[in-house]
Amino acid sequence: MDLHLIIHNVASLFSAVIILGMAMFTYLNDRHSIANTTFALMLVGAVIFSISHAIGVNISDPIVSRNILMFNLCMFLTGAFLLHSILAMLGKATERKGLIVFVYIAAGALTIFFVIFPDLFLLASAPKMYFPNYYVPGILNWTRLVFLDVVIFPYILYMLLHEHNSASSIVLRNRYAYFIVALVCGFCIVYIPNFLVGDIQVDPLIGMFFAVICMVPFAYGAIKYELFNIRVIAKQAFIYSISVAFVGGGLTLLTYAGIWARDAYPNFPTWTIALASAVAAVSASFVVWRQLRESDVLKYDFITTVTHKFRTPLTQIKWATEALTSTALSPEGQAQVKCIETANTKLVELIDVLTVASESEDVSREYTMTTTNISKMVLEVVSNTVHRAALKGVVLTSHITPGMYVPCDGQKIRFVLQTLIDNAIMYTPSQGTIAVSLGYDGQDARFSVQDSGIGMEANEVARVFNKFYRSEAAQGADTEGMGIALFVSREVIVHHGGKIFAASKGLGKGSTFTFILRHAQHSRYEG
């Protein structure tokens, strides 16, 4: 295999890896943003182009090569996604909705037309320079360049320049400036492979590094000026993504180097290439693991320190409000003290949740496992909450099998019990019912809370234990919830080797939350 072709292939695949990483990074930063989603789809189109290009130019069969290179048709929709993402970022998507729809229709129509009549777009591939096969344009291949380079790119550049010049703040001007630089670099570099398409003997190799060249200004602007809502807090994840991309590119280069060395020097010990690849992969994995581990430790230490520091002033506030309650205050003063006491209690509860959340995610923090009377624990939690349920007009009943013991961390399991029962009370309206049960499930303990509350859709049931997730109905019933207690509860049960799950027949039809703890025992001296 020609050395130039090897470098070209590595550059193509390297660019594909980097672009795919950027697509995932942009999308995951704000999955609900039209700008982020369409920009990520544009990058996915660029990935398809890079991979199909790398494969197509290496195939010796001219017809098969042409068929693979036909995936270049994705560039029509790539241009449409780019236009949509830029207009969405600029806040012009609604204003230019007609233009966006027209561009999508045009891109789709051109794609379908060339799929039906492929010879008008590309003919059978032919050898060019050091490529086994390369593009041979059909008579209408020029529409691709017109659509992207004459229509889409100039319009986008005009819109960005206009917004840059009229921006009221230097932050916005810098944001648009980096975007302009990235797009200009990208379009200019990407155009280089087109010279050889037209039989102009310009090596397309430089063009295959377009991802590295155009992504550098974009990446800097994304972190510094929050392009597409990419926050600084995600900088470490971005650095890891780029590092993984470089490692992947290096491993690909080593693989191709082994192929080239084997062909050029038959006696070359190719096992050394495999050894080098293995060492590089293991080293990269170790470095990433160390960094992630350090981040987890810092996160845990930070939360532990903050929550510890918060407890002292909150305790002092509690003592002060208790002292004020016993003094002669006007009704209005008593009401204000009560508000302070309630707010203080909520802050203490929040700190408890954050502490348990931190500990539950840190597998190095050992649980204190003892044989615990879970029947007694459930009864205590129910007794402490039945009054609150009655004040809301909710009937709370329980069926608890006495004398059940399980090996568990009592404090953490009590948190789970309290969370499930509190949620049932919170999301069950007046005149509703809640049924708490504890019994045997074979050799295990099964705890359930069934309510007649707001219920959930099927897709919400699958996500209810995700961190920070709250359904629309839950947000309407409790505007101050964090969506973290159920996540923590799942982590606690999983660390105990148990199972936790939810069920609901739909909105307004109530929910049932259940967890199972293994190895339940019965005491014959109780019950």
pLDDT at 527 (0 to 100): 46
Radius of gyration in angstroms for the set of CA atoms belonging to the chain, rounded to a whole number: 31
CATH of the domain at 427: 3.30.565.10
pLDDT tens sequence across 169-193? 676 777 788 778 878 877 787 788 8
Residue at 195 is within a domain: yes
Q: Where are the beta strands (DSSP E) in 361-443?
A: 370-373, 395-400, 404-408, 433-441
Q: Is the pLDDT of residue 514 over 50?
A: yes
Q: What is the DSSP letter of 345?
A: H
pLDDT at 363 (0 to 100): 45
pLDDT at 232 (0 to 100): 43
Which distant-in-sequence residues (6+ apart) come within 8 Å of 11 by Cβ? 205, 208, 209
Q: Is the pLDDT of residue 51 over 60?
A: yes
Residue at 274 is within a domain: no
Which distant-in-sequence residues (6+ apart) come within 8 Å of 1 by Cβ? 256, 259, 260, 263
pLDDT at 458 (0 to 100): 83
pLDDT at 395 (0 to 100): 94
Q: What is the mean pLDDT of the chain?
A: 79
Q: Final residue of a domain: which of 212, 232, 252?
A: 232
Question: Which tokens hold the place of 438?
Answer: 């504890």
Query: Measured on CA atoms in the order 227, 232, 237, 238, is the torsion positive or negative?
Result: positive
The pTM of this model reads: 0.52
Residue at 244 is within a domain: no
Domain that holds residue 448: 370-522
d(CA 121, CA 138): 4
d(CA 111, CA 441): 58
pLDDT at 512 (0 to 100): 95
Q: What totals of helices (H) and strands (E) does the chain contain, helices first?
A: 18, 10
Q: Is the pLDDT of residue 31 over 90?
A: no
126 phi/psi in degrees, rounded to 5: -140, 150
pLDDT tens sequence across 203-252? 887 776 665 666 655 655 555 555 555 544 445 555 555 565 566 656 66
**How many residues are recorded in the chain?**
527
Q: What is the mean pLDDT of residues 460-479?
A: 73
Q: Is the pLDDT of residue 110 over 90?
A: yes
d(CA 290, CA 284): 10
Q: Is the pLDDT of residue 116 over 60?
A: yes
Question: How many CB atoms are located within 10 Å of the residue 409 CB?
Answer: 18
Q: Where are the alpha helices (DSSP H) in 130-229?
A: 142-145, 153-166, 170-191, 193-197, 210-225
Residue at 286 is within a domain: no
- The band of 114, judged by pLDDT with boundaries at 50, 70 and 90, is very high
d(CA 69, CA 35): 29
Residue at 361 is within a domain: no
Cβ atoms of residues 217 and 185 within 8 Å: yes
Cβ atoms of residues 196 and 202 within 8 Å: yes
pLDDT tens sequence across 412-421? 899 899 999 9
Question: Which tokens hold the place of 139?
Answer: 């008579």
Q: Is the pLDDT of residue 379 over 50?
A: yes
Among candidate residues 58, 80, 201, 70, the one with its CA nearest the CA of residue 137: 70
Q: Is the pLDDT of residue 258 over 70?
A: no
Least confident window among 158-172, 303-317, 509-523: 303-317
Q: Final residue of a domain: which of 172, 203, 232?
A: 232
What residues are paired with 404 via a beta bridge? Answer: 522
Which distant-in-sequence residues (6+ apart) come within 8 Å of 3 by Cβ? 260
Among candidate residues 181, 240, 237, 246, the one with its CA nearest the CA of residue 214: 181
Residue at 292 is within a domain: no
pLDDT at 233 (0 to 100): 45
Least confident window among 38-42, 134-138, 234-238, 444-448: 234-238
Question: How many CB atoms are located within 10 Å of the residue 424 CB?
Answer: 27
Q: Is the pLDDT of residue 442 over 60?
A: yes
Between the CA atoms of 431, 434, 435 and 437, what dihedral angle is there, to the nearest 10 degrees? -160
Residue at 250 is within a domain: no
In the chain, how many domains are there? 2
Q: What is the mean pLDDT of residues 334-346?
A: 73
72 phi/psi in degrees, rounded to 5: -60, -15
Q: Final residue of a domain: which of 178, 211, 232?
A: 232
d(CA 205, CA 8): 5
Which distant-in-sequence residues (6+ apart) come within 8 Å of 502 by Cβ? 456, 461, 464, 465, 511, 512, 513, 514
pLDDT tens sequence across 271-305? 566 666 666 666 666 665 666 555 555 555 555 66
Query: Greatest CA span in the chain, whole angstroms?
Result: 98
pLDDT at 183 (0 to 100): 80
pLDDT at 416 (0 to 100): 92
Q: What is the mean pLDDT of residues 447-462?
A: 89
pLDDT at 79 (0 to 100): 92
pLDDT at 46 (0 to 100): 87
Q: What percent of the chain has pLDDT over 70?
A: 71
CATH of the domain at 65: 1.20.1070
> Looking at beta carbons, which pairs linking 381-385 to residues 24 or more positions away fall under 8 Å?
381/414, 381/417, 381/418, 381/421, 382/421, 382/436, 385/418, 385/421, 385/422, 385/425
Q: What is the mean pLDDT of residues 450-455?
A: 93
| Residue 351: its H or E element | helix 331-361
Residue at 330 is within a domain: no
Residue 194 shares a structural domain with residue 46? yes
